[in-house]
């Protein structure tokens, strides 16, 4: 299934939608009573959405309700019930016969799982035989912040139907779990229903390539329960319940990730929710529907903006050691940045909130992304700089919709600082990132500055170019031999990658690996890296080499170490658009003497090919004056996003490059 | 054994005590000799394990260490990691991080550790839990000291192995193991590559066993070196008699261990009535025992699957046959036990076999009885034949063990306890890959061939797994990747499997690749090596220290026949070469006749451990194969014949 069109993105408020018409699929929903399995259910050997699937989900039904009379510190609870029925068609899917149900408990917020009911069904002698799951097949496990219920389904084999239902209770209000209508197996009927008292206003964000089979809104009278939002908002709520139902039929499995797909999250059919307002009588509280509101809320949050306040006097002593008090120069900004980047270790944990007090991050010299970059922001502020935190969603985390801020979609924090009249965007979580540079994962669309200015910084992949320059010089030397030098200046991201590699591996090992791949008549001499220890500098490496030619015919390929030999997109089929992380500009220059005792027998022809719209080009130029040869190749890709329709053109482009780069210069011995 | 004169003993003890208290104050910053820092990622300054055996039912362990991490390769040892389960009760745990100057950076206690289950071992539910903490410090060198107390209820799990030098990247200043047990307690032990034997002393009715090793430098890792496990100094321990969860046993011999297992397995092989009927329905019509075994193994594979649930004594005691039959799942020992019950019902003798599974797993030491196993398989006997059965696999044929359990000693649980048995080994005649490629190249460089590959024995494990598990599309993608050809289309992919004690698989396909050969004026260049055996390129190594190991015996024979375009002939040398040695051989021959280029290549290697001095010959062998597979052949177009 090719996704030619952009995903359908729609959002609306629950309240504002009127009762809409039902669009039913031909087959309609299955019987949703637990245990409603008939012998006919075992008849199919394959199912239409994907006839090669190892398992099929016959039903996946989620139901969210509010319990207004839940007694606890939280006066409400959100009850999520899931009911799933699936059929195992092939033993490769027997992994589905074990199930783990997780609920998180963290910081006093405790969700818990109840009412687990599960059974396996098999067809025996034309009758449906049920094997219930007994208590001995349910195990309770724990991992970090999660409680996990583990189920092992008895009597499961090829052809079996497995059915289970469970309830997770989330104390409080304001959280409705996301629902995905697709997974790695086809789903015949996926349905999500949410029943919410009209007092709560939820924004709904839908994403997917198909329209809903069912998309309805009903109103039910008679909701009534006690409410306590503070002194001015207490009493009994009487009003309507809004009941929303979405369903999809015959959903094919999500196509697997392809090269240059950022994340399948951008393509999966799903629905997400965020509380936008609560209204009780004259009491009305709005939440995060606009960026200014979100910003205000984040700045007040103890685990975000609250860390930036001026209670950080313990920073004084350390700051004195790093910079001169009161200086807001670029030099001072660089020093503070380098201090945090080099002295602190990131655990890699993403998220926008701190996981521990700033002081603990300071003492342990380690923390998650938010801990480290919020600490950096606080340090800058304390030293007198204008600095603000910036939030974004990383490439692997999925695209965000700017008009529709869903805080759960943001998972990364950066620091923006003003120094010598210029703004710099900084990430101190990796030792390989220079001042003002950002790792690849940050380039995923708009990043939001969380301060009164509410600036939006577009971090677009089209705006960054990875530039590599390689130079090779070869000459007949005085000693009668043939020798020269190779040197490469890596682009920003390749420099980061190589520096990361060199944390694990020594420079000597790097060059040893290179020399293992050299032709037998080529020898590597002295070698080294330049500015390895300075992340702000592009990384350069070089080596000297000697050649010992003996053959009658020499096949000399001018491109060393960077020939494109495998296509980055080899598959002729493509389902998702191509999303490259940056634009490309690779330059390769070779200048060589014709080796003594040899003459050119064949020189590859100069050529140039381009993408249809000209945004990508490959130039290959060879010239000779009879004594020396000049070679220059340059590949440029000025765009990073390509639609599915443009895929074959891009693939052909790479195939031409691969083909061309195989061509050798052929020398023949003259005597 | 050294006899320590009493006076000296006192001095030694005093020195030990003094050293112990000195180490508590200041071992962290002392300079380390070059001999111990060279090539090391971490230096063990001290490591003391004290085991206090009170009875076969109870022991206490006190463990302390001080590690100095010199660089990033030593970082893994900075992780604080310990565990607890039903039989191991974790007491106090504490750790301290010191910087290069010896200043305390951070102290942690037990409540600071994270609590995790062990997921990712393929086991669904296990009661072993891990307590873990990572300091995340990177200003080298830094030092970590650690201390923990643990109580063992049930000595079966007595720390079976003590390995003072866990990796070749670790150097050791001093590492000690001290075990105190009642004088009549039968502690079993065996030393491997240990410079000094144990020092045993008696004190107030107790025996104290003490081992110490000092000044072990890091060992440079060389390619293809035999496993570190077989070279490092270590001590195997076993509780001569033990009691766990109410079961008593002894461990002086394999037969003893077998008898203990028998206790655990007792009464667990009863099949329910329905299952017994099914067995007879399957086998009563068959006359040949082999056919019966195949039928029952097939029944197991069709109707049950593996789910790993290891809780408490359930780590060694299988769930009974009735459990497996009704639930249709079990872990490796339950499935093996169930298989044995099915065989028994059919009148065939079968046994469970304890084994250490893993393609790279070190062999067990048959000369020392102790728990060295992590898996259970089954074997059926008929006449003089043994039919081996991997009960957790739904795809392996009866009688065949994959590289996970082939060719190793294992413990067969029999009627007298247990005895050592060796699983089938697959050699060069069994593990074969025979490839036949036939087709043509045209004058544009396009390739069109049919390829037929016959895999057998261990060589067919990978391909058979793909046929069973991967989608057709994935298999095509993988095949394209393996050939490494740009612009390649694979069609007519077909396969047929021949199951048996040495299974085989035949795979056929059509491969077309546009511009497989590069056009360079009047020449075509191409690499036939994409269809040949590929070997890595090895560097020469002067003064190699460690013996080298080849882990499998295989033979690969490739034959390629390509019709060249009319008027084109090969230029220069064709592929020709051969080399032979005790551990392997390589031979490639080519010829050109009637417009057809023929290449035949044969590679063989023999499993084994070979002396370090022979390494240059291995380098020559691998590099020859590498070079020939890498070589570019050149075709030259004949110039147009001179006109009249």
**Cβ neighbour number for residue A280 with a 10 Å cutoff:** 19
Per-residue pLDDT, averaged over B257-278, amounts to 93
B102 and B221 in a common domain: yes
Within a domain: B12: no
The pLDDT of residue A108 is 59
Chain B 244-263, residues with CB within 8 Å of chain A CB atoms: none
Query: Residue B556 burial by CB count (10 A; 0-12/13-18/19+): exposed, middle or buried?
Result: buried
- Residue A401 pLDDT class (50, 70, 90 cuts): confident
B455 and B390 in a common domain: no
Partner residue opposite B469 with nearest CB, options A92, A601, A658: A92
Residue A140 has pLDDT above 70, yes or no: yes
Strands A616-624 and A598-602: unpaired
Residue A422 has pLDDT above 70, yes or no: yes
Per-residue pLDDT, averaged over A625-640, amounts to 97
Within a domain: B323: yes
What's chain A's average pLDDT?
Answer: 89
The pLDDT of residue B159 is 61
- B179 or A320, higher pLDDT: B179
Distance from B163 to chain A by nearest Cα, in Å?
25
A245 within 8 A of A191, measured Cβ to Cβ: yes
- Per DSSP, B225 falls in state B
Partner residue opposite B523 with nearest CB, options A92, A365, A602: A602
Within a domain: A139: no
Within a domain: A180: no
**Which residue of chain B is at minimal alpha-carbon distance from A154?**
B327
- Per DSSP, B85 falls in state B
What residues pair up with A114 in beta bridges, in sequence order?
A167
Within a domain: A559: yes
Interchain contact, B632 vs A571, CB within 8 Å: no
A632 and A494 in a common domain: yes
Show the tokens assigned to A430.
């990796």
pLDDT tens digit string along B159-169? 668 899 999 99
B527 and B630 in a common domain: yes
Q: What share of chain B has pLDDT > 70, as a percent?
A: 94
A449 and A481 in a common domain: no
B141 and B290 in a common domain: no
Structural domain including B144 reads 23-241
Task: Report the C-alpha gap between B252 and B366 in whole angstroms.
Answer: 12
Partner residue opposite A655 with nearest CB, options B471, B487, B521: B487
A450 within 8 A of A377, measured Cβ to Cβ: no
The gap from C-alpha A93 to its chain's centroid, in whole angstroms, comes to 27
- A1 or B515, higher pLDDT: B515
Task: Report the C-alpha gap between A482 and A602 in whole angstroms.
Answer: 20
A519 and A421 in a common domain: no
What residues pair up with B24 in beta bridges, in sequence order?
none
Counting the structural domains of chain A, the total is 2
The pLDDT of residue A215 is 93
Per-residue pLDDT, averaged over A573-587, amounts to 95
- A633 or A5, higher pLDDT: A633
Chain B 125-144, residues with CB within 8 Å of chain A CB atoms: 125, 134-139
A556 vs B contacts (CB less than 8 Å): none
Question: Quick one: which of B354, B267, B360, B246 has its CA closest to B319?
Answer: B267
Task: Report the C-alpha gap between B572 and B570 in whole angstroms.
Answer: 7
Put simply, whether B19 touches A (Cβ < 8 Å) is no
Residue B19 has pLDDT above 50, yes or no: no
Task: Report the C-alpha gap between A407 and A245 in whole angstroms.
Answer: 24
Interchain contact, B326 vs A154, CB within 8 Å: yes
The pLDDT of residue A597 is 93
Within a domain: A205: no
Per-residue pLDDT, averaged over A608-627, amounts to 96
The pLDDT of residue B7 is 31
Interchain contact, A366 vs B135, CB within 8 Å: yes
B381 within 8 A of B350, measured Cβ to Cβ: yes
- Residue B328 pLDDT class (50, 70, 90 cuts): very high
**Which of A158-162, A373-377, A564-568, B311-315 shows the lowest mean pLDDT across its residues?**
B311-315
Q: Identify the domain boundary among A459, A477, A505.
A: A459
B612 and B564 in a common domain: yes
A477 and A438 in a common domain: no
The pLDDT of residue B505 is 97
The pLDDT of residue A408 is 85
Task: Report the C-alpha gap between B249 and B258 in whole angstroms.
Answer: 9
What residues pair up with B549 in beta bridges, in sequence order?
B609
pLDDT tens digit string along B335-369? 999 999 999 999 999 999 999 999 888 899 999 98
Partner residue opposite A553 with nearest CB, options B486, B522, B572: B572
- Per DSSP, B11 falls in state H
* Global ipTM: 0.83
Within a domain: B608: yes
Phi-psi region for residue A253, left (φ > 0), alpha (ψ -120 to 50) or beta?
beta
Size of interface A-B (CB pairs under 8 A): 119
**Which of A658-662, B117-121, B307-311, B561-565 shows the lowest mean pLDDT across its residues?**
B117-121
The pLDDT of residue A469 is 98
- Residue A21 pLDDT class (50, 70, 90 cuts): very low
B301 and B279 in a common domain: yes
Per-residue pLDDT, averaged over A364-383, amounts to 93
Within a domain: A311: yes
Put simply, whether B537 touches A (Cβ < 8 Å) is yes
Within a domain: B124: yes
Within a domain: B5: no
A637 and A513 in a common domain: yes
Q: Which residue has the tokens 């417009």?
A: B595
Q: Identify the domain boundary among B422, B448, B480.
A: B422
Residue A22 has pLDDT above 50, yes or no: no
A647 and A585 in a common domain: yes
The pLDDT of residue B28 is 66
Distance from B554 to chain A by nearest Cα, in Å?
25
Residue A671 has pLDDT above 80, yes or no: no
Question: Quick one: which of B136, B166, B493 has its CA closest to A345?
Answer: B136
Q: Which residue has the tokens 């029944």?
A: B299
Structural domain including A370 reads 291-459
Task: Report the C-alpha gap between A538 and A313 in whole angstroms.
Answer: 37
A421 and A335 in a common domain: yes
A664 and A520 in a common domain: yes
The pLDDT of residue A16 is 31
SS3 content of chain A, % helix, strand, coil (to 5): 20, 40, 40
Put simply, whether B303 touches A (Cβ < 8 Å) is yes
A446 and A317 in a common domain: yes
Put simply, whether B72 touches A (Cβ < 8 Å) is yes
Within a domain: A595: yes
* Positions of E strands within A594-637: 598-602, 607-610, 616-624, 628-637
The pLDDT of residue A614 is 93
Query: Residue B204 burial by CB count (10 A; 0-12/13-18/19+): exposed, middle or buried?
Result: exposed
Within a domain: B2: no
B95 and B172 in a common domain: yes
Q: Identify the domain boundary among A435, A459, A483.
A: A459
B296 within 8 A of B346, measured Cβ to Cβ: yes
Q: What share of chain B has pLDDT > 90, as a percent?
A: 69
**Which residue of chain A is at minimal alpha-carbon distance from B140?**
A343
Within a domain: B16: no
pLDDT tens digit string along B518-572? 988 889 999 999 999 999 989 888 899 999 999 999 999 999 999 999 999 998 8
How far is the CA of A169 from the CAs of A66, A67, A166, A173, A191, in angstroms? 10, 10, 10, 11, 19
The pLDDT of residue A310 is 64
Q: Write the CATH number for B491.
A: 2.60.120.1130
Residue A229 has pLDDT above 80, yes or no: no
The pLDDT of residue B2 is 30
Spatial neighbors of B358 by CB under 8 A, at least 6 apart, are: B374, B404
B258 and B228 in a common domain: no
Q: Angle at Cα A660 formed by Cα A656 and Cα A666, nearest 5°?
A: 165
How far is the CA of B59 from the CAs of B154, B161, B324, B375, in angstroms? 8, 16, 35, 26
Task: Report the C-alpha gap between A32 and B48 in whole angstroms.
Answer: 62
Counting the structural domains of chain B, the total is 3
The pLDDT of residue B221 is 87
B630 and B547 in a common domain: yes
B471 vs A contacts (CB less than 8 Å): 52
The pLDDT of residue B371 is 85
pLDDT tens digit string along B131-157? 999 887 878 899 999 999 999 987 766
Exposure of B389 in the CB half-sphere (CA atoms within 13 A): 33
- A2 or A215, higher pLDDT: A215
Residue A69 has pLDDT above 80, yes or no: no
Task: Report the C-alpha gap between B175 and B173 in whole angstroms.
Answer: 7
Distance from B106 to chain A by nearest Cα, in Å?
7
Q: Identify the domain boundary among A429, A459, A489.
A: A459
Per-residue pLDDT, averaged over B485-494, amounts to 89
- Residue B487 pLDDT class (50, 70, 90 cuts): confident
What residues pair up with B106 in beta bridges, in sequence order?
B97
pLDDT tens digit string along B201-257? 999 999 999 999 999 999 988 999 988 988 899 999 888 888 888 888 888 899 999
Per-residue pLDDT, averaged over B435-442, amounts to 96
Show the tokens assigned to B456.
């057998």
Residue A27 has pLDDT above 80, yes or no: no
Put simply, whether B178 touches A (Cβ < 8 Å) is no
The pLDDT of residue B158 is 56
What's chain B's average pLDDT?
Answer: 89
Render A200-218 in DSSP notation, one character per residue.
Answer: EEEEEEEEESS--SEEEEE
B136 vs A contacts (CB less than 8 Å): 345, 347, 364-366
Chain B 574-613, residues with CB within 8 Å of chain A CB atoms: none
Q: Identify the domain boundary among B206, B241, B276.
A: B241
The gap from C-alpha B549 to its chain's centroid, in whole angstroms, comes to 14
Within a domain: B18: no
Residue A582 has pLDDT above 90, yes or no: yes
Q: Identify the domain boundary among B215, B241, B267.
A: B241
Residue A511 has pLDDT above 90, yes or no: yes
A489 and A434 in a common domain: no
A492 and A417 in a common domain: no
Show the tokens assigned to A260.
């240059």
Q: For A507-519, b where at least 16 C-beta lie within 10 A, e where not — what string?
A: eeebbeebbeeee
- Residue A2 pLDDT class (50, 70, 90 cuts): low
Residue A168 has pLDDT above 60, yes or no: yes
Q: Write the CATH number for A522.
A: 2.60.120.1130
- Residue B21 pLDDT class (50, 70, 90 cuts): very low
pLDDT tens digit string along A262-299? 999 889 999 998 888 888 888 888 876 789 988 998 99
Show the tokens assigned to B262.
């028998």
Helices (H), ranges, B470-563: 472-483
Q: Write the CATH number for A349.
A: 3.10.620.30
B585 and B481 in a common domain: yes
Interchain contact, B539 vs A516, CB within 8 Å: yes
B417 and B506 in a common domain: no
Within a domain: A373: yes
- Residue B13 pLDDT class (50, 70, 90 cuts): very low
Q: Which residue has the tokens 């036990």?
A: B337
Interchain contact, A566 vs B484, CB within 8 Å: yes
**Which residue of chain B is at minimal alpha-carbon distance from A92?**
B469
A521 and A630 in a common domain: yes
Rg, Å, chain A Cα set: 31
Residue B126 has pLDDT above 90, yes or no: no
B260 and B235 in a common domain: no
Partner residue opposite B136 with nearest CB, options A52, A347, A503: A347
The pLDDT of residue A11 is 42
Per-residue pLDDT, averaged over A599-617, amounts to 95
The gap from C-alpha B622 to its chain's centroid, in whole angstroms, comes to 23
The pLDDT of residue B638 is 80
Report phi then psi at A232, rounded to 5. -85, -5
């Amino acid at each position: 299934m090719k996704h030619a069109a952009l995903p359908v993105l729609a959002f609306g408020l629950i309240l504002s939608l009127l009762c809409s018409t039902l669009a039913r699929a031909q087959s309609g929903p299955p019987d949703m009573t637990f245990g409603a399995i008939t012998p006919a259910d075992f008849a199919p050997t394959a199912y239409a959405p994907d006839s090669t699937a190892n398992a099929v989900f016959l039903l996946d039904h989620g139901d969210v309700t509010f319990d207004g009379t839940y007694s606890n510190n939280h006066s409400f609870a959100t009850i999520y019930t899931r009911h799933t029925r699936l059929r195992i068609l092939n033993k490769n899917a027997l992994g589905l016969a074990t199930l783990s149900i997780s609920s998180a408990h963290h910081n006093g917020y405790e969700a818990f799982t109840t009412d687990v009911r599960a059974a396996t069904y098999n067809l025996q002698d034309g009758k449906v035989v049920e094997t219930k799951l007994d208590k001995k097949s349910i195990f309770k496990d724990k991992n970090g912040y999660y409680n996990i219920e583990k189920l092992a389904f008895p009597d499961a084999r090829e052809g079996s139907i497995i059915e289970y239902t469970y309830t997770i209770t989330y104390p409080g209000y304001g959280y409705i779990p996301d629902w995905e209508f697709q997974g790695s197996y086809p789903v015949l009927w996926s349905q999500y229903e949410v029943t919410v008292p009209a007092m709560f206003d939820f924004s709904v964000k839908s994403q997917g390539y198909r329209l809903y089979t069912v998309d309805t809104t009903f109103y039910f009278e008679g909701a009534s329960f006690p409410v306590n939002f503070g002194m001015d908002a207490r009493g009994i709520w009487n009003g309507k319940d809004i009941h929303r139902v979405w369903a999809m039929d015959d959903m094919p499995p999500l196509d697997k990730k392809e090269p240059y797909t950022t994340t399948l999250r951008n393509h999966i059919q799903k629905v997400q929710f965020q509380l936008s307002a609560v209204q009780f009588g004259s009491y009305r509280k709005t939440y995060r529907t606009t960026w200014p509101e979100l910003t205000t809320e984040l700045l007040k949050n103890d685990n975000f903006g609250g860390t930036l306040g001026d209670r950080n006097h313990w920073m004084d002593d350390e700051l004195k050691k790093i910079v001169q008090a009161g200086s807001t120069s670029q030099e001072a900004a660089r020093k503070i940045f380098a201090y945090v980047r080099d002295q602190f270790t990131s655990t890699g944990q993403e998220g926008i909130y701190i996981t521990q007090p700033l002081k603990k991050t300071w003492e342990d010299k380690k923390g998650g992304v938010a801990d480290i970059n919020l600490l950096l922001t606080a340090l800058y502020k304390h030293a007198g700089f204008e600095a603000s935190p910036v939030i974004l969603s990383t490439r692997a985390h999925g695209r965000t919709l700017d008009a529709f801020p869903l805080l759960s979609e943001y998972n990364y924090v950066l620091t923006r600082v003003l120094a010598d009249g210029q703004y710099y965007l900084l990430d101190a979580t990796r030792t390989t990132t220079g001042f003002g540079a950002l790792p690849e994962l940050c380039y995923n669309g708009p990043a939001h500055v969380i301060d009164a200015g509410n600036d939006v910084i577009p971090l677009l992949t089209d705006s960054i170019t990875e530039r590599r320059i390689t130079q090779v010089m070869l000459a007949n030397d005085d000693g009668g031999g043939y020798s020269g030098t190779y040197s490469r200046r890596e682009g920003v991201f390749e420099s980061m990658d190589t520096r990361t590699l060199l944390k694990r591996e020594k420079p000597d090992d790097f060059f040893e690996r290179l020399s293992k791949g050299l032709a037998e008549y080529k020898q590597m001499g002295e070698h080294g890296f330049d500015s390895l220890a300075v992340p702000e500098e592009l990384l350069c490496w070089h080596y000297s080499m000697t050649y010992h030619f003996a053959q009658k015919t020499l096949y000399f390929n001018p491109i060393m170490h960077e020939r494109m030999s495998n296509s980055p997109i080899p598959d002729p089929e493509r389902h998702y658009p191509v999303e490259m992380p940056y634009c490309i500009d690779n330059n390769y220059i070779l200048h060589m003497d014709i080796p003594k005792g040899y003459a050119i027998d064949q020189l590859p022809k100069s050529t140039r090919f381009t993408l249809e719209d000209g945004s990508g080009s490959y130039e290959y130029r060879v010239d000779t004056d009879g004594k020396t040869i000049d070679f220059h190749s340059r590949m440029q890709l000025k765009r990073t996003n390509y639609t599915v329709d443009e895929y074959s053109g891009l693939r052909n482009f790479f195939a031409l490059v691969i083909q061309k780069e195989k061509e050798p210069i052929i020398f023949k011995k003259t005597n | 054994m050294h006899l320590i004169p009493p006076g000296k003993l006192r001095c030694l003890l005093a020195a030990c005590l003094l050293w112990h208290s000195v180490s508590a104050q200041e071992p962290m910053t002392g300079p380390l000799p070059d001999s111990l820092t060279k090539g090391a990622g971490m230096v063990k300054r001290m490591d003391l394990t004290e085991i206090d055996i009170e009875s076969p039912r109870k022991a206490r362990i006190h463990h302390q260490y001080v590690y100095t991490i010199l660089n990033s390769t030593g970082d893994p040892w900075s992780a604080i990691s310990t565990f607890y389960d039903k039989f191991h009760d974790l007491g106090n745990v504490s750790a301290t991080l010191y910087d290069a100057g010896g200043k305390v950076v951070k102290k942690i206690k037990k409540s600071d550790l994270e609590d995790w289950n062990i997921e990712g071992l393929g086991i669904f539910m296990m009661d072993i839990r891990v307590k873990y903490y990572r300091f995340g410090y990177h200003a080298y060198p830094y030092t970590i000291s650690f201390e923990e107390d643990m109580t063992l209820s049930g000595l079966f799990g007595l720390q079976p192995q003590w390995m003072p030098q866990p990796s070749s990247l670790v150097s050791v200043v001093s590492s000690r193991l001290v075990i105190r047990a009642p004088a009549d307690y039968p502690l079993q032990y065996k030393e491997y590559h240990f410079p000094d034997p144990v020092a045993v002393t008696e004190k107030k009715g107790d025996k104290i066993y003490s081992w110490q090793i000092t000044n072990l430098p890091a060992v440079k890792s060389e390619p293809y070196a035999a496993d570190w496990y077989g070279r490092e100094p270590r001590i195997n321990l076993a509780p001569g008699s033990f009691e766990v969860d109410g079961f008593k046993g002894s461990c002086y011999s394999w037969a003893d261990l077998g008898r203990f297992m028998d206790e655990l397995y007792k009464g667990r092989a009863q099949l329910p009535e329905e299952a017994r009927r099914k067995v007879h329905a399957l086998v009563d019509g068959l006359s040949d025992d082999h056919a019966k075994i195949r039928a029952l193994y097939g029944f197991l594979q069709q109707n049950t699957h593996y789910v790993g649930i290891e809780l408490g004594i359930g780590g060694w005691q299988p769930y009974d046959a009735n459990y497996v039959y009704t639930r249709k799942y079990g872990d490796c020992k339950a499935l093996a036990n169930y298989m044995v019950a099915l065989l028994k019902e059919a009148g065939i003798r079968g046994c469970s076999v304890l084994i250490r599974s893993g393609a790279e797993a070190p062999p067990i030491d048959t000369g020392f009885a102790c728990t060295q196993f992590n898996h259970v398989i089954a074997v059926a006997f008929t006449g003089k034949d043994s039919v081996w059965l991997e009960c957790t696999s739904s795809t392996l044929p009866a009688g065949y063990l994959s590289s996970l359990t082939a060719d190793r000693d294992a413990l067969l649980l029999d009627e007298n306890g247990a005895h050592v048995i060796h699983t089938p080994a697959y050699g060069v005649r069994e593990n074969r890959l025979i490839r036949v490629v036939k087709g043509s190249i045209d004058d544009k460089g396009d390739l069109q061939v049919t390829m037929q590959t016959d895999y057998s024995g261990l060589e067919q494990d990978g391909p058979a797994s793909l046929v069973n598990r991967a989608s057709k599309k994935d298999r095509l993608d993988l095949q394209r990747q393996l050939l490494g050809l740009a612009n390649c289309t694979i069609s007519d992919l077909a396969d047929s499997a021949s199951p048996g004690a040495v299974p085989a698989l035949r795979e056929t396909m059509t491969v077309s690749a546009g511009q497989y050969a590069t056009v360079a004026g009047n020449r075509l260049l191409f690499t036939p090596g994409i269809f040949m055996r590929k070997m890595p390129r090895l560097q020469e190594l002067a003064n190699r220290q460690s013996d080298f190991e080849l882990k499998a015996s295989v033979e690969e024979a490739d034959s390629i026949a390509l019709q060249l375009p009319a008027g084109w002939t090969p230029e220069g040398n064709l592929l020709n070469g051969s080399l032979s040695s005790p551990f392997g051989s390589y031979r490639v021959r080519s010829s050109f006749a009637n417009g057809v280029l023929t290449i035949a290549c044969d590679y063989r290697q023999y499993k084994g451990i070979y002396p370090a001095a022979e390494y240059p010959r291995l380098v020559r062998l691998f590099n020859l194969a590498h070079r020939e597979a890498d070589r570019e052949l050149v075709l030259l177009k004949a110039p147009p014949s001179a006109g009249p």
